[in-house]
């Protein structure tokens, strides 16, 4: 492929690292909201060095260390990026860390703040709490003063969630569930939710886990629909009536496109929390570029803890 050229308002980034996210799994299977024209490179979170500056760009210079979120194209040596889509990579932070921060934490802060209206003292249940967005949700909910219960599928994952600050962790069985197993999981969630239930449920899993979680929601709670690696659930809407609760979709990419100023404010807040040590992306595995496909496959198997990152160049 020819090297990209910076157009007006763009810079070319020499990519050093790119993290893997669940949309990368979906897009290569044609199960995402859009299908990019072939050939394409997956990868949405990048960190690297500015290699070229286009006309009209004043905030960046060649050699600046940057990080940003792009829709596709991160698993490549270079990419032209809108100058406004980038943020400075703080001194002392590595490229792998920078590539692991934005998409997961931006998704979770949008989910919790804009859609979940989280506040201090809320009780929050996070499904899939050991994944990238799940750990981000745990850390952010704690930073906002909530009590957090993480739910995961193994003890290894449970320990990672405890390390991220969760107040309690539930290890749930593997789906699919029949009615008795679904009822038993609902009871475990209800016990963890306490007398008033959960004010916010962050569901990054879907499938058979969704209904048991919804049964544990509190009065006027907010159920956040974040993702469906376990399958798209069908919720009994009578439960939403009985609890007078909200079911809220979370589509961070659309939010960022429609409300760029609000999204940028969230990311600047994340950078402050990162600097203060309140959040920290957990990079658990780093793959070389030639094994980028293996990294995506690993995430698709739902066995990963934290963030998987591809090192594109040294």
Q: Is the pLDDT of residue 278 over 80?
A: yes
Q: Is the pLDDT of residue 5 over 80?
A: yes
**What's the pLDDT score for residue 234?**
93
> Which has the minimum average pLDDT: 9-18, 34-43, 153-162, 193-202?
34-43
Q: Is the pLDDT of residue 31 over 90?
A: no
Half-sphere exposure at residue 296, Cβ-oriented, CA atoms within 13 angstroms: 19
Q: What is the pLDDT of residue 1?
A: 85
Residue ranges per structural domain of the chain: 10-101+281-311, 103-253
pLDDT at 256 over 90: yes
Pick the CATH number of 103-253 from 3.40.50.720, 1.10.10.10, 1.20.120.1200, 3.40.50.300: 3.40.50.720
Q: In this predicted structure, what is the pLDDT of residue 28?
A: 87
* Residues ≥6 apart with Cβ < 8 Å to 116: 124, 200, 202, 222, 224, 248
In the three-class reduction of DSSP (H, G, I as helix; E, B as strand; rest coil), residue 283 is classed as strand
The mean pLDDT value for 17-21 works out to 96
Name the CATH superfamily, with its identifier, for domain 10-101+281-311.
Answer: Medium-chain alcohol dehydrogenases, catalytic domain (3.90.180.10)
Q: Which two tokens stand for residue 280?
A: 């920290």
Grade residue 35 by pLDDT with cuts at 50, 70 and 90: confident
Specify whether the CB–CB gap between 88 and 122 falls below 8 A.
Answer: no
Say whether pLDDT at 310 is over 90. Answer: yes
Does residue 34 have a pLDDT over 80? no
Parallel, antiparallel or unpaired: strands 78-82 and 10-20: antiparallel
E strand or H helix that includes residue 179 = helix 179-193
Contact, 206 vs 229, CB < 8 A? yes
pLDDT tens for each residue of 112-160: 999 999 999 999 999 999 999 999 999 999 999 999 999 999 999 999 9
* pLDDT surpassing 90 at residue 33: no
> In 10 A of CB 129, how many CB atoms?
30
- The whole-angstrom separation of Cα 258 and Cα 110 is 13
- Mean pLDDT score across all residues of the chain: 95
Please state, as a whole number, how many other Cβ atoms lie within 10 Å of the Cβ of residue 176.
10
Joined together, the tokens standing for residue 93 give 């932070």
**Percent of residues, the chain, with pLDDT higher than 90:** 88
DSSP 277: T
């Amino acid at each position: 492929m020819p090297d990209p050229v910076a157009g007006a308002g763009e810079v070319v980034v020499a990519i050093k690292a790119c993290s893997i996210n669940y949309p990368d799994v979906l897009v290569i299977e044609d199960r995402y909201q859009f299908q990019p024209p072939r050939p394409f490179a997956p990868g949405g979170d990048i960190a690297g060095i500015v290699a070229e500056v286009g006309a009209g760009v004043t905030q960046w210079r060649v050699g600046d260390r940057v990080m940003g979120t792009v829709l596709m194209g991160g698993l490549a040596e270079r990419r032209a990026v809108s100058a406004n889509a980038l943020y400075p990579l703080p001194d002392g932070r590595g490229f792998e860390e920078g590539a692991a921060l934005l998409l997961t934490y931006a998704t979770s802060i949008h989910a919790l703040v804009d859609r979940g209206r989280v506040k201090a003292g809320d009780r929050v249940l996070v499904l899939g709490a050991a994944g990238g967005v799940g750990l981000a949700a745990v850390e952010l909910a704690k930073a906002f003063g909530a009590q957090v219960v993480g739910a995961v599928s193994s003890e290894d994952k449970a320990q990672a969630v405890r390390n991220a600050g969760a107040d309690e962790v539930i290890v749930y069985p593997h789906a699919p569930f029949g009615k008795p197993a679904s009822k038993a999981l609902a009871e475990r969630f209800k016990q963890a939710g306490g007398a008033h239930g959960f004010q916010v449920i962050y569901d990054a899993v879907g499938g058979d886990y969704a209904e048991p979680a919804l049964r544990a929601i509190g009065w006027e709670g907010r159920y956040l629909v974040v993702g469906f690696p376990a399958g798209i659930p069908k919720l009994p809407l009578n439960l939403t009536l009985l609890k007078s609760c909200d079911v809220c979709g979370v589509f961070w990419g659309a939010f960022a496109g429609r409300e760029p100023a609000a999204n940028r404010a969230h990311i600047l807040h994340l950078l402050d929390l990162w600097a203060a040590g309140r959040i920290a992306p957990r990079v658990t595995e780093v793959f070389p570029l030639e094994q980028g496909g293996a990294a995506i496959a690993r995430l698709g198997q739902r066995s990963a803890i934290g963030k998987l990152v591809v090192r594109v160049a040294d």
